[in-house]
Amino acid sequence: VKIAIASGKGGTGKTSLSTNLAAMWSKEEPVVLCDLDVEEPNSALFFHAELIRQEVKFKKIPVWKEDTCSLCGQCKDVCNFNAIIKLGKKIMVFPELCHSCHACSELCPTSSLPMKDYRMGELKHFHDGPLNFIESKLDIGQEQAVPLIRQTLNYLDQHFDKDLISILDSPPGTSCPVIEATKDADFVILITEPTPFGFHDLKLAVETMEELGKQFGVVINRHGIGNSAVEEYCLENEIPLIAKIPNKREIAELYAKGKLVYPHVNEFREAILQVKMYLQEHIL
Ligand code: SF4
Ligand code: SF4
């Protein structure tokens, strides 16, 4: 069972919710937490788990064969991502921009662009009793999160039973990486703050989830700041408001120290418990 935790923008408490929910739930049954925020994974800070596996991850990129190329230019025309250009008598590929779609390679009339492995990042798998934790990180300079997210989800599918509770800490935003991270989820939790910015980003995230046809609900973080626009919006649009995490300095301080919050702050624990119970009742 895949539960994705997403938000319209970064810094809204996504990692805090993911890590605390996974840790609390794993006291009752096995849970796997997967950090898919591959540009900046930081869930690992909150666990002291044992590293049991480490894999370098590759994507396929076209490699130009100068000796057979006729310089027809079709490859650069077909690439939607500007990852391949023709410069005088040379074809240049920009691996960081390549989406590994194979189009140029397949179209090339002289087979001068075979696809080869190109390192993009690393996956790590940690284990701590009933909690498994997987994180992937893009190498510095790599810009394409989608292929690494896809491979991380493949790893999850290959190594864990599909009935197991899987919590996916998704990348922020509403673009391709978050779509890749949430598209196979059984349920998506959108976490937001009750501020005008939070509200704006939430509406975009809701639109994305509706387009994907996902079942989703909202958690408000730092409840007490801002205004009630997010709550009214959820009510008007019949979006389940699953929990409200109070705005408390203690929570921010524990988080900043890399500590799990739920064992120390009652109101926070209550909110995480509500999320868990909602999911148990509606999704499992
Ligand atoms: S499509 Fe093939 S032959 Fe044409 S320019 Fe590109 S690499 Fe060369
Ligand atoms: S594989 Fe696709 S994205 Fe990569 S260079 Fe070729 S056409 Fe562009």
Note down pLDDT in tens along the chain; length 284 residues.
999 999 877 778 899 999 999 999 999 999 999 999 999 888 888 888 899 999 999 999 999 999 999 999 999 999 999 999 999 999 999 998 898 999 999 999 999 999 999 999 999 999 999 999 999 999 998 888 999 999 999 999 999 999 999 999 998 877 889 899 998 899 999 999 999 999 999 999 999 999 999 999 999 998 989 889 999 999 999 999 999 999 999 998 998 888 999 999 999 999 999 999 999 998 87
Q: For residue 71, report the distance from its CA to the centre of ligand 1, in Å.
A: 5
From the CA of 113, give the closest atom in ligand 1. 7
Integer Cα distance of 89 and 105 in angstroms: 18
Q: Is 72 in the pocket of ligand 1 (CB under 6 A)?
A: yes
Task: Give yes or no for residue 111 CB within 6 A of ligand 1.
Answer: no
Closest Cα to atom 8, ligand 2: which residue? 79
104 pocket-lining for ligand 2 (C-beta < 6 Å): yes
Which atom in ligand 2 lies closest to the alpha carbon of residue 113? 6
Identify the pLDDT of residue 47: 83
Distance 4 CA to ligand 2 centre (A): 29
- Could you give the CA distance from residue 64 to residue 54 in angstroms, rounded to a whole number? 31
Pick the residue whose CA is nearest to atom 4 on ligand 1. 72
Q: Ligand 2 mean position to 60 CA, how many Å?
A: 9
279 lines ligand 1 (CB under 6 A): no
Per-residue model confidence (pLDDT) at position 38: 94
For position 168, what pLDDT does the model report? Answer: 97
What is the CA(142)–ligand 1 centre distance, in A?
25
Q: How far apart are CA 254 and CA 115, in angstroms?
A: 47
**What integer pLDDT is reported at residue 181 of this predicted model?**
92
pLDDT of residue 108: 98
Residue 6 neighbours by CB under 8 Å, 6+ apart:
14, 170, 172, 178, 181, 182, 188, 189, 190, 191, 205
pLDDT of residue 12: 82
Find the DSSP H helices in the chain.
14-25, 74-78, 103-107, 145-159, 176-182, 196-212, 229-236, 249-256, 266-282
Ligand 2 atom at minimum distance from 78 CA: 7
Compute the distance between CA of residue 114 and CA of residue 96 in angstroms, rounded to an integer.
17
Q: Whose CA is nearest to atom 4 of ligand 2?
A: 98
Model pLDDT, residue 43? 82
Q: Is the CB of 245 under 6 A from ligand 2?
A: no
pLDDT for position 49: 87
| 83 Cβ closer than 6 Å to some ligand 2 atom | yes
pLDDT at 9: 77
Residue nearest to atom 8 of ligand 1 (CA): 69
**Number of the ligand 2 atom closest to the C-alpha atom of 94:** 5
Q: Give this prediction's pTM.
A: 0.89
* pLDDT computed for residue 48 by the predictor: 83
pLDDT confidence of residue 8 = 78
Residue 166's beta-bridge partner residues?
Answer: 2, 32
Asked whether 98 lines ligand 2 (CB < 6 A), one says yes
